[in-house]
Amino acid sequence: MGAALARAAQWTAAGSGTGTLEITPLNESLLNQIIKFAEDFSTRHPREAAFVFREPLEWKTQLGCSVFGEGYEINEATVQSEAKGKDGQPLLLLMASTLRVCSFDQLSSLLQIAMEKKLKEAQACLEANRDPIVKILGPEYGTVEGEDMSMLHLLDKVKKDDDPETELKMKIFLLLHQLDLQLLNSSLKHISEDIRLNPAAINNEVNLLKNFSGKGEDTVLESLEYTSDYTFSNGCRAPPWRQVHGEICYLVIKPHDTDPLYITCSTAGVFLNGVSNNKGFHGEYNFFKEPTYEKNYQRMEVVDAKVSGQSQNLYDFTEKNVCEKVKSSAARRRSIDKKKLEPSMKFLRFLLSCNNFDDVTSFPQQGREISCNHVQYWSSRTVILSYFYKTSGRFEDISESSSETEEDEEQPVRHQEGNTDLPSEYWGIQKLAKYLKGGNPTATVIALCSMRDFNLAQETCQLAIRDIGCLEVLINLLDTEEIKCQIGSLKILKEISQNTLIRHAIADLGGLQIMVKILDSPDKDLKCLAAETIANVARFKRARRTVRQHGGIKRLVGLLECISVGSTSLTPYQAKDTEIARCGALALWSCSKSIKNKEAIRKAGGIPLLARWLKCSHANILTPVVGTLQECASEPSYRLAIRTEGMIENLVKNLSSEHEELQMHCASAIFKCAEDKETRDLVRQHGGLQPLSVLLGNSENKQLLAAVTGAIWKCAMSGENVSKFREYKAIEALVGLLTDQPEGVLVNIVGALGECCQEPINRTTIRKCGGIPPLVKLLAGTDQALLVNVTKAVGACATEPENMMIIDRLDGVRLLWSLLKNPNPDVQASAAWAICPCIENAKDAGEMVRSFVGGLELIVNLLKSKNKEVLASVCAAITNIAKDEENLAVITDHGVVPLLSKLANTNNDKLRRHLAEAISHCCMWGSNRVTFGETKAIAPLVRYLKSNDPSVHRATAQALYQLSEDPNNCITMHENGVVKLLLAMVGSTDEILQEAAAGCIANIRRLALATEKAKYG
């Protein structure tokens, strides 16, 4: 256990505390295994459980005296066990909040007493006792690095000494060692799923192999070289359009005794290229030319670097070459039918990545005056960049590979640039530009103040600042030591960064990197402005990645640390700290839309800090805090943390806030977290279901309605919650919202109704409220998620005969049947499940099914699907269809028997059950029993009886009983050992299983007797 805690468990120093166990899925899994071991220890090993620890395990507990009952002596704030050690000391002692436990017996009892708090208690115990084996057995058994000889020493001692205590220690040590191995194996399996290669790891491996390469006889390789000398900022050498596929670099390896090997290194592994020749790559690899299928517009190509074994410096260009290329390309653009060519985005990235630009654009540190030379450099860069901004409507970043899967924000819209008259504000900003660029600090501050007098929310003013080169100057001012210049610049950047084009330009010009550095500034106003501007700019993926890669996440999390959390009346100093935290939360909210950033926030200790701020009462900071949490709640580790850190109670509390945006984010967080049953129970226990039901009345705010209905949907997955929703009249309200709503809202409403329909009384309520016609109407929609939910709801309603009459009258069954043609397997499966109760409860089901032209052939052909859920649902539908003799004859003609037989070799218990039921009903026609035997379906069915699912046993026994009517099938069953398995089931309490098993055995026995009679007369 000590090794697992030291090597496998994930420890953190969250906030400003000591090392604690992180709240992660891995740690929760380890804790649950340790809890199970300790709980079962006293029953599985009673002698070892009575062993008294060398030193007690001691920790701060959350349990009160009131939870202890029989077997404990309670005296005010002290609890002690009646069980005592040899020295007369109690084996469990609770004083104040300190708990001391001296045996596994008491530890097991304590965990049973703790109930839902056992996870917290186990965590606290292990945090306080980092190597519990030392406390239990003594220091000689402690976890050591390197070779552990404690087992051998203990074995020698047992051989030499007859002391029973030593033998007992040996057994306990072996049990703990076994647990340790189990925990390490479990964590290894968990961690191995997330490991991927990265550029640094590959570079280390290559450098290691290079040390063993050369011409000498004592080397293993002749040479090992990269195909490209150029390294991108993310460490990759592969071209950007291959990085998006996970490729990192390419290697040419020359062994001594064979032809060169051509290797591709990617995040998924290292692969040997299949096509190569002695001269290098097979064909030309054009590093600078993107594949034509990735872009559908024309562009100016800057350089074609052909790679054939040798590396080139891909970015070895001069400013002269660049300018000439731009001019020649511009002339070519004017001459070819006035067709506009898109500029190469690689050229733009080249300009932005050149080191000399970083040098010339830095603000002069001494004298703090901008010289004319600097302005000329800026102007030349501005002209080229402005050219790209005006001619390109897309700002793409493919210079780094990323595993972030969320889509970027809407791409910047290209505005028509012509010779139209510009407003006076445009020219006013242009006049200010010369003072901003060429003045001293005082003149610069005055120019900044004057610029703020313009309406910076107006797009004309924003684009004027960009077009005349002021944006570069504003970003440069951030790199000065003049606080006033920095503050003035950030105030302008904060306003204009609401514009999509400006956001991309700020990121391209390196503004984010400087703002991240400013977060370390001692000036609080400066930190606030920098964080707010980052919040605006980091609304697209590349900007969020930049913030993370330059250490911005850790700094932003640091802004949340404040002593004034939860204070009602704040001093001016505390109010400023709260404002800093608000701005930090806003920036984290923007950054949290990225998967990697969510992980970075967690590792930086952001979860406990967000949990602390969630307890405050100020809506202006609660909104970004809850916004960040609901973004992060898509990750399992965050959902676990939100539940265990007690955040559900505060989220429920804020559902009753006066601020609709805060209500929306709280409901959205509950929507995502309520995937887990424990969270759904907590929402109910903290009274969250009633405010959710009340919020259904606010149907004007569609975003709020989508979040609320989503939360109700997920909470309704627990039966106890459905009863509460019925009490609060939520079902009637949901039915009333079925019309004139966006699809996103409808998906959640119908999902909630589908869950509520599991109770008969609610199905009646939906019918009485007129909910069935709008549900059936939604079956004609196209949204896949909506179709999955609406088919489930209609299927649940169809279990009531009165509801089924309405569905049939509205042609709902035909609509369900048509959805079997949908290409989405989820829709197919959901539709097939819904068809089952429709057939069961229809008045003339057989005739109804036959009325669907081609319907039976369609459902039989779905048995060729690869999706297990589709197969199970279709088998269930065939079971109901086969109850009608005419329909059974038709599906037999369509080849249902061999298709069912093909599915017999499955390990999926759900499919096994419905497949066995389908086979059982299909045996009722003609020679189907014989055909099942001929198509090898019998032996796999016999194996189904070894399943742990009782419903599989029942269905299989019924199928075998029907199949045993054929003598050849009886022989096959007997050969596969069916009699022994069925004999055990004859004594089952399930009467149907009992009769089927006995009937099958009887048929086999009758065949045996008939054979003996024929043989011996």
Cα–Cα distance for residue pair 507/518, rounded to 1 Å: 16
- Residue 388 confidence (pLDDT) above 50: no
For 175-184, 406-415, 623-632, which range has the lowest pLDDT when averaged over its residues? 406-415
- Residue 512 confidence (pLDDT) above 90: yes
What is the layout of strands, in order, in the sheet containing 269-272? 221-226, 247-255, 261-266, 269-272
Bridge-based pairing of strands 285-286 and 52-60 is unpaired
Cα–Cα distance for residue pair 749/552, rounded to 1 Å: 39
Local confidence band at 225 (pLDDT 50, 70, 90 cut-offs): very high
- Residue 695 confidence (pLDDT) above 60: yes
Local confidence band at 984 (pLDDT 50, 70, 90 cut-offs): confident
For 249-263, 374-388, 923-937, which range has the lowest pLDDT when averaged over its residues? 374-388
Local confidence band at 333 (pLDDT 50, 70, 90 cut-offs): very low
Average pLDDT, stretch 283-305? 33
Cα–Cα distance for residue pair 492/494, rounded to 1 Å: 5
Tokens 């020698």 sit on residue: 156
Of 177, 207, 289, which Cα lies nearest the Cα of 241? 289
pLDDT the model gives residue 396: 34
Q: Assess contact for 143 and 96: CB atoms under 8 A.
A: no
Average pLDDT, the chain: 80
Q: How many residues does the chain have?
A: 1017
Average pLDDT, stretch 915-925? 93
Average pLDDT, stretch 87-97? 88
Average pLDDT, stretch 568-587? 83
Tokens 């090997």 sit on residue: 261
For 187-201, 507-521, 657-671, 743-757, which range has the lowest pLDDT when averaged over its residues? 187-201
Helical axes 619-632 vs 606-613, angle rounded to 10° = 140
Cα–Cα distance for residue pair 624/353, rounded to 1 Å: 34
Q: Assess contact for 842 and 880: CB atoms under 8 A.
A: no
- Residue 925 confidence (pLDDT) above 70: yes
pLDDT the model gives residue 689: 94
Q: Assess contact for 716 and 724: CB atoms under 8 A.
A: no
pLDDT the model gives residue 563: 63
Average pLDDT, stretch 705-715? 95
Local confidence band at 278 (pLDDT 50, 70, 90 cut-offs): very low
CA distances from 319 to 199, 324, 353 (A): 31, 9, 13
* Residue pLDDT, tens place only, 995-1007: 999 999 999 998 8
Of 286, 349, 358, 362, which Cα lies nearest the Cα of 322? 349
Alpha helices in 131-274 (DSSP H): 132-137, 150-160, 164-192, 199-210, 240-243
Average pLDDT, stretch 676-703? 92
310 vs 615: which has the higher pLDDT? 615
| Residue 308: partners with Cβ closer than 8 Å, 6 or more residues away | 279, 280, 281, 284, 285
- The enclosing H or E element of 623 equals helix 619-632
Q: What is the pTM of this model?
A: 0.63
- Residue 682 confidence (pLDDT) above 90: yes
Tokens 């030349």 sit on residue: 380
Bridge-based pairing of strands 92-95 and 98-103 is antiparallel
Local confidence band at 315 (pLDDT 50, 70, 90 cut-offs): very low
pLDDT the model gives residue 709: 95
* Residue pLDDT, tens place only, 18-32: 567 777 788 888 888
Q: Output Rg (C-alpha) for the chain, integer angstroms.
A: 36
What percentage of the chain has pLDDT greater than the value 70? 80
Helical axes 991-1016 vs 967-975, angle rounded to 10° = 100
pLDDT the model gives residue 150: 57
| Residue 549: partners with Cβ closer than 8 Å, 6 or more residues away | none
Is residue 256 exposed (0-12), middle (13-18) or buried (19+ Cβ within 10 Å)?
A: exposed
| Residue 1015: partners with Cβ closer than 8 Å, 6 or more residues away | none
CA distances from 22 to 34, 128, 180, 794, 900 (A): 16, 14, 19, 44, 49
Cα–Cα distance for residue pair 624/520, rounded to 1 Å: 21
Supply the DSSP symbol for 540. Answer: S
- What is the four-CA torsion angle of 764, 769, 773, 774, rounded to 10 degrees? -120
Local confidence band at 11 (pLDDT 50, 70, 90 cut-offs): low
Supply the DSSP symbol for 403. Answer: -
796 vs 302: which has the higher pLDDT? 796
pLDDT the model gives residue 194: 64
Cα–Cα distance for residue pair 118/764, rounded to 1 Å: 42
Residue 897, both tokens: 């028997």
Q: Assess contact for 852 and 817: CB atoms under 8 A.
A: yes
Residues paired with residue 79 on neighbouring β-strands, in sequence order:
74, 94
Tokens 């999390």 sit on residue: 557
pLDDT the model gives residue 589: 94
Q: Assess contact for 598 and 586: CB atoms under 8 A.
A: no
- Residue 113 confidence (pLDDT) above 90: no
Q: Assess contact for 471 and 502: CB atoms under 8 A.
A: yes
Q: Assess contact for 236 and 248: CB atoms under 8 A.
A: yes
Average pLDDT, stretch 759-775? 92
Q: Assess contact for 962 and 1001: CB atoms under 8 A.
A: no
Q: Assess contact for 838 and 798: CB atoms under 8 A.
A: yes
pLDDT the model gives residue 295: 33
Local confidence band at 824 (pLDDT 50, 70, 90 cut-offs): very high
Taking the CB of residue 764, how many other CB atoms lie within 10 A of it? 14
Average pLDDT, stretch 762-771? 92
CA 180 to chain centre: 29
Average pLDDT, stretch 479-492? 89
- What is the four-CA torsion angle of 215, 220, 222, 226, rounded to 10 degrees? -140
pLDDT the model gives residue 944: 93
Q: Assess contact for 21 and 10: CB atoms under 8 A.
A: yes
| Residue 161: partners with Cβ closer than 8 Å, 6 or more residues away | none
Supply the DSSP symbol for 84. Answer: B
Local confidence band at 139 (pLDDT 50, 70, 90 cut-offs): confident
Cα–Cα distance for residue pair 695/701, rounded to 1 Å: 10
Q: Assess contact for 914 and 875: CB atoms under 8 A.
A: yes
305 vs 94: which has the higher pLDDT? 94
Cα–Cα distance for residue pair 323/329, rounded to 1 Å: 10
* Residue pLDDT, tens place only, 783-815: 999 999 999 999 999 999 999 999 999 999 999
Q: Assess contact for 670 and 688: CB atoms under 8 A.
A: yes
- Residue 355 confidence (pLDDT) above 50: no
Local confidence band at 716 (pLDDT 50, 70, 90 cut-offs): very high
pLDDT the model gives residue 145: 55
Residue 830, both tokens: 């959901």
Count the helices and strands in the chain (H runs, E runs): 55, 17
pLDDT the model gives residue 155: 62
- What is the four-CA torsion angle of 470, 475, 480, 484, rounded to 10 degrees? 70
pLDDT the model gives residue 382: 37
* Residue pLDDT, tens place only, 533-544: 999 999 999 999
